[in-house]
């Protein structure tokens, strides 16, 4: 039984399916962060000219994983798009050239500093291109996956008090399963089994903007991302807010994103929508994966921060192998790192 159908729950459900196991998914349809994410897959950290933690490994696992879902569900979900990293000062050039020569990063960063003009994009110091990246259409993925689950999907807010832990299984109302995996994103803070874990959460506000003059053939990265969705619609964001954990959008959030957009582009656009969501970020910036200390049947898959697209497939595989093949989880992601050592 999987609770939550964001990127975590979906990846785990798919891993079970690939391994010939059956799955029942319960999702509250509370808005999660996966459906509103830009869906950008990019294993580099462009602010620091570096690779993200396990970036190459996650990238290698995630793309074939989503491609196989695309094929099975007959739905286009991945779109390869270069990311144009807009330099903010001339000093960025040297850092970019050094980084693009580093092992691992060389596959992703095109070493050329480019100065060609793209209509409406402000690049006074030029830009560099990140290759082998793009967007996963997370909203379509979740909707299509949900439909394909059919009767194995149930829309309901999970009631923790109704969970019974039996000797060889767990029972939730009329459903019996061998294991339960909680994939609730930031809503985990209300889960009595796992709320002790340091899921901090980071609010992000985004704007959906429409412009007929902006190219849809690239993702722009300046102080924020601007990514093409469809029909002249672009995703722009996001803010990082640590204190406010509400899903309310604010005027300050909107103004902040608008200022960043104006730093990057100079074409007319209209604002279509403003959305806020909470990234499931963790104190030590690593995922939260593992089994509850009181029951070998209760598990967690969470803490993907701002990188759910690339992280979820391999983290799901780690958890699957831990549950069904008795393999050890990588120490960095195992929730046991937050348990008191005696």
- List residues near ligand FAD by CB under 6 A: 3-9, 26-30, 32-34, 37-40, 157-158, 183-185, 187, 204, 206, 237-238, 277, 279-280, 302, 304-310
Query: 162 vs 342, which CB is nearer to ligand FAD?
Result: 162
Residue 191 CB, shortest distance to ligand FAD, in Å, is 7
Rounded to a whole number of angstroms, the minimum distance from the CB of residue 307 to ligand FAD is 5
Nearest approach, Cβ of residue 34 and ligand FAD (Å)? 3
Residues comprising the chain, all counted: 342
Q: Is the CB of residue 169 less than 8 Å from the CB of residue 177?
A: yes
Q: Please, what is the minimum distance in Å from the beta carbon of residue 333 to ligand FAD? A: 13
- Provide CB contacts within 8 A for 111, sequence distance 6+: 96, 97, 100, 101
Cα distance between residue 204 and residue 235, in whole Å: 12
Measured distance CA(302)–CA(69) in Å, rounded: 21
* CA gap 287, 313 in Å, rounded: 12
CB nearer ligand FAD, residue 220 or residue 238: 238
In the complex, least distance from residue 215 CB atom to ligand FAD, rounded to whole angstroms: 19
Tell me how far CA of residue 224 lies from CA of 107, 240, 262, in angstroms: 23, 10, 11
Output 126 or 135, the one with its CB closest to ligand FAD: 135
Gap between the Cα atoms of 28 and 156, Å rounded: 5
With CA atoms as reference, report the closest residue to 65 among 332, 320, 299: 320
Sequence-distant contacts of 89-93: CB under 8 A, at least 24 apart: 89/125, 90/125, 92/125, 93/125, 93/126
Given the complex with ligand FAD, which of 187 and 322 has the nearer CB atom? 187
Q: How far is CA 213 from CA 141, 231, 271, in A?
A: 28, 11, 14
CB of 171 to ligand FAD, least distance (A): 16
Residue whose CB is less far from ligand FAD, 137 or 184: 184
For residues 273 and 236, give the distance between their C-alpha atoms in angstroms, rounded to a whole number: 10
In angstroms, give the least distance from the CB of 21 to ligand FAD. Answer: 19
Q: How far apart are the C-alpha atoms of 30 and 8, rounded to whole Å?
A: 15
Identify which of residues 105 and 310 has a Cβ nearer to ligand FAD in the complex. Answer: 310
Task: Tell me how far, at minimum, the Cβ of 160 lies from ligand FAD, in Å.
Answer: 8
Q: 113 or 209: whose CB is closer to ligand FAD?
A: 209
**HSE of 139, CA atoms in CB hemisphere, 13 A:** 8
Closer Cβ to ligand FAD, 39 or 55, answer by number: 39
Instruction: Identify the DSSP state of 218.
Output: -
């Amino acid at each position: 039984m999987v609770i939550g159908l964001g990127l975590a729950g979906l990846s785990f459900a798919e891993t079970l399916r690939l391994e010939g196991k059956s799955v029942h998914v319960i999702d509250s349809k509370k808005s999660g962060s996966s459906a509103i994410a830009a869906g950008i897959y990019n294993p580099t950290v462009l602010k620091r000219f570096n690779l993200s933690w396990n970036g190459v490994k996650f990238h290698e696992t995630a793309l074939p994983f989503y491609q196989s879902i695309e094929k099975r569900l007959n739905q286009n979900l991945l779109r390869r798009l270069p990311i144009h990293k807009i330099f903010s000062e001339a000093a960025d050039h040297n850092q970019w050239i050094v980084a693009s020569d580093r092992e691992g990063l060389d596959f992703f960063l095109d070493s050329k500093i480019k100065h060609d003009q793209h209509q409406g994009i402000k690049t006074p110091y030029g830009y560099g291109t990140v290759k082998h990246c793009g967007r996963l259409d997370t909203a379509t993925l979740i909707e299509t996956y949900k439909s394909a689950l059919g009767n194995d999907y149930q829309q309901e807010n999970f009631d923790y008090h109704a969970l019974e832990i039996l000797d060889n299984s767990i029972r939730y109302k009329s459903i019996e399963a061998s294991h339960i995996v909680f994939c609730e994103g930031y809503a985990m803070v209300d889960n009595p089994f796992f709320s002790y874990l340091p899921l901090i959460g980071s609010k992000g506000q985004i704007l959906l903007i429409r412009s007929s003059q902006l190219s849809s053939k690239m993702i722009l990265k300046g102080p924020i991302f601007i990514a093409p969705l469809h029909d002249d619609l672009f995703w722009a964001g996001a803010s990082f807010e640590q204190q406010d954990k509400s899903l309310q959008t604010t005027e300050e959030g909107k103004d902040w994103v608008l200022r960043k957009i104006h730093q990057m582009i100079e074409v007319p656009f209209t604002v279509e929508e403003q959305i806020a969501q909470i990234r499931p970020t963790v104190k030590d910036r690593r995922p939260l994966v593992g089994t509850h200390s009181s029951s070998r049947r209760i598990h967690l898959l969470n803490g993907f921060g701002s990188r759910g697209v690339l992280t979820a497939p391999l983290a799901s595989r780690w958890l699957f192998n831990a549950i069904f093949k008795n393999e050890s989880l990588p120490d960095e992601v195992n929730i046991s790192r937050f348990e008191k050592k005696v």
